[in-house]
Amino acid sequence: AEELQAVAILVPAGFSDHAVERIERTFRRIAIERADAALVTDEMRSTVRGIASFAGINAVMMDALPNLELIASFGVGYDSVDVGHAAANNIMVTNTPDVLTEEVADTAIGLLINTIRDLPRAETWLRDGSWAKKGDYPLSRLTLRARRVGIFGMGRIGRAIARRLEAFGLPVAYHNRRRVEGLAYQYHPTLKGLAEAVDTLISVAPGGASTQKAVNAEILSALGANGVFVNIGRGSTVDEAALAAALANGTIAAAGLDVFAAEPNVPKALLDAPNASLLPHVGSASQHTRRAMAGLCVDNLVSWFGERRPLTPVP
């Protein structure tokens, strides 16, 4: 423990309190306003060996810290970290998988039902007095019954969502880079093939170059006029202009979005879409789960600097 206390860890402002407390108890914490190379001081340059990341670390920031060994990223998605540059410079990157799987799957199902049954607007109907003044909330045009659901991205979270859908009695199919061994759900080698086979598409796909705008006009149109698109993965996987157009034109029926391409900015066309249900990236956002994620993030720092063994390195 004596030794760890000498290891300097850079912690950007706003990092989870719970994690900051533990980092402070275990290491020498150096605070920084944000992970920006322009803010790196000479002291940071010569001492920092680890960094806690939640908003991402780019190549310039890595280059500004020549003694950097480990980027402990908060969250399961690590598209905000330049992992190629990290690998080329022998910098280990860890993320926080598993501990958020069930929470994100719960949110995906909640968002799916909200989107299809219009529940947030039904609550507004009650709260603004419309129920008393105008009567019952209009019947929802869409239903979850008899839907065929496709999951784009069959990792841990995708499988947790599929298990829940099975319990709902809904058939599940999926598209993934590779077929997942031991899964009975129907596999589609292309996203287009999946979109043609289902009417409800849930994207859990990670961000990054390989999924950039993968959900485009063609995919949305393949879902059909009864189609519903839900995104719990990354906003970058969607062509948001094409999605807004598909919602406005009735190419698909509705969308539920927890993530956006340029958060916290949400395109006006989506804000204005009455058939979109929107959430501010809250997939894993319970105190319980964020605490577990922060714990795993710090556990990675402790394990790396104590035993040279990352617990959850990114692939």
Cα–Cα distance for residue pair 10/34, rounded to 1 Å: 10
- Indicate if 288 belongs to the active site: no
- Indicate if 234 belongs to the active site: yes
Annotated catalytic residue within 85, 156, 164, 281: 281
x/- contact string, 271-310, with ligand DGY (CB under 6 A)?
A: ------------xx--------------------------
Cα–Cα distance for residue pair 72/56, rounded to 1 Å: 10
- Indicate if 263 belongs to the active site: yes
| Shortest Å, Cβ 35 to ligand DGY | 15
Cα–Cα distance for residue pair 246/105, rounded to 1 Å: 25
| Shortest Å, Cβ 76 to ligand DGY | 4
For residue 14, CA distances in Å to 18, 38, 101, 174, 274 come to 11, 18, 23, 37, 33
Contacts of residue 279, defined as CB under 8 A and 6 or more positions apart, other chains included, come to 107, 111, 256, 257, 258
| Shortest Å, Cβ 77 to ligand DGY | 3
| Shortest Å, Cβ 210 to ligand DGY | 16
Q: Provide the 3-class DSSP secondary structure of residue 8.
A: strand
- 173 lies in the site for ligand DGY, by CB under 6 A: no
Tokens of 32: 């920084």
x/- contact string, 73-112, with ligand DGY (CB under 6 A)?
A: --xxx----------------------x------------
Tokens of 106: 């719960």
Q: Between 56 and 193, name the residue whose CB sits nearer to ligand DGY.
A: 56
Tokens of 196: 């043609």
Active site residues: 234, 263, 281
Q: Which residues bind ligand DGY (CB under 6 A)?
A: 75-77, 100, 283-284
